[in-house]
């Protein structure tokens, strides 16, 4: 099979072996996505939702998280 995979973000070609492992992005784009800030929305009991961008805050909100 002569399939040449292309990155979904930058449309550059990347190795077929990487595609066979299930990756959809080239290495530079994958590294950029890994370092991008992550956010999540947490529903608070008897309150509103809160936007969490800090992992330590998220762990502090979870009473079942082990320290």
- Residues making up the chain, counted from first to last: 67
Is a pLDDT exceeding 60 seen at residue 67?
no
Check if the beta carbon of residue 52 is closer than 8 Å to that of residue 58: yes
Closest CA to 15 of 5, 30, 2, 25: 5
- Which pLDDT does position 22 carry in this prediction? 93
pLDDT tens track for 12-28: 999 999 999 999 999 99
As a whole number, mean pLDDT of residues 50-59 equals 84
Alpha carbons 1 and 48: distance in angstroms, whole number: 53
The structure tokens listed for 65 are 């998280």
pTM: 0.53
The confidence band for 46, taking pLDDT boundaries of 50, 70 and 90, is confident
- Which pLDDT does position 2 carry in this prediction? 81
Q: Are strands 40-43 and 49-52 parallel, antiparallel or unpaired?
A: antiparallel
């Amino acid at each position: 099979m002569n399939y040449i995979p292309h990155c979904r973000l930058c449309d550059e070609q990347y190795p077929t072996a990487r595609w066979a492992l299930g990756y959809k992005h080239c290495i530079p784009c994958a590294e950029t996505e890994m370092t991008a800030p992550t956010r999540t929305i947490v529903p608070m009991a008897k309150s509103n939702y809160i936007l969490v961008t800090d992992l330590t805050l998220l762990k502090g909100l979870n009473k079942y998280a082990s320290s």
